[in-house]
């Protein structure tokens, strides 16, 4: 029998609309200022944390193989058919930003919207749908 902390997963999934909203606001701006760059970096960071936190809960709860890295969390979810290959490719690129955002923040590029921002809102919504569908399928 699985012990899946569905409440913790849902709490994090319910945070996705806020990330999506910030993405929409940033995309509607012309030239970004320092506050916009900070908002962009925080939106990217929070998206990464949602993906890795939810992924870790799914891996632990459904007794999937242990992850060796953040990228591996995404790969495990793809391998278990929780995520599509296309979504997993995007999320893998996203989680690779964790180290630059957390450790190399001084030199993180601040010259416009980050390339991953264009699709972030839609991909996070897809992530939410994929996780919710898998939970419903496996826990029903």
Q: Are 74 and 95 in contact (CB under 8 A)?
A: yes
Return the domain boundaries, the chain: 6-139
24-41 pLDDT, tens digit per residue, is 999 988 899 999 999 999
Q: How confident is the model at residue 1 (pLDDT cuts 50, 70, 90)?
A: low
Cα 28 to Cα 36, 110, 112, distances in angstroms: 11, 17, 12
- pLDDT averaged over the chain? 95
Alpha-carbon gap, residue 47 to 42, rounded angstroms: 8
pTM of the model: 0.95
Alpha-carbon gap, residue 91 to 88, rounded angstroms: 5
44-91 pLDDT, tens digit per residue, is 999 999 999 999 999 999 999 899 999 999 999 999 999 999 999 999
Alpha-carbon gap, residue 112 to 75, rounded angstroms: 29
Query: What pLDDT score does 30 carry?
Result: 81
In the predicted structure, residue 14 carries a pLDDT above the cut 80: yes
Contacts of 3 (CB under 8 A, 6+ apart): 61
Fold entry, domain 6-139 = 1.20.120
């Amino acid at each position: 029998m699985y012990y899946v902390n569905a409440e913790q997963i849902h709490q994090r999934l319910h945070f996705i609309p806020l990330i999506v909203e910030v993405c929409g606001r940033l995309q509607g701006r012309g030239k970004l200022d320092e506050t916009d760059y900070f908002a962009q970096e925080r939106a990217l960071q929070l998206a990464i944390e949602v993906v890795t936190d939810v992924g870790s809960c799914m891996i632990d709860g459904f007794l999937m193989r242990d992850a060796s890295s953040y990228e591996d969390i995404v790969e495990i979810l793809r391998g278990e058919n929780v995520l599509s290959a296309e979504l997993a490719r995007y999320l893998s690129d996203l989680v690779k930003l964790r180290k630059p955002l957390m450790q190399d923040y001084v030199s993180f590029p601040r010259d416009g919207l980050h390339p991953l921002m264009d699709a972030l809102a839609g991909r996070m919504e897809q992530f939410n749908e994929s996780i919710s569908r898998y939970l419903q399928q496996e826990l029903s």
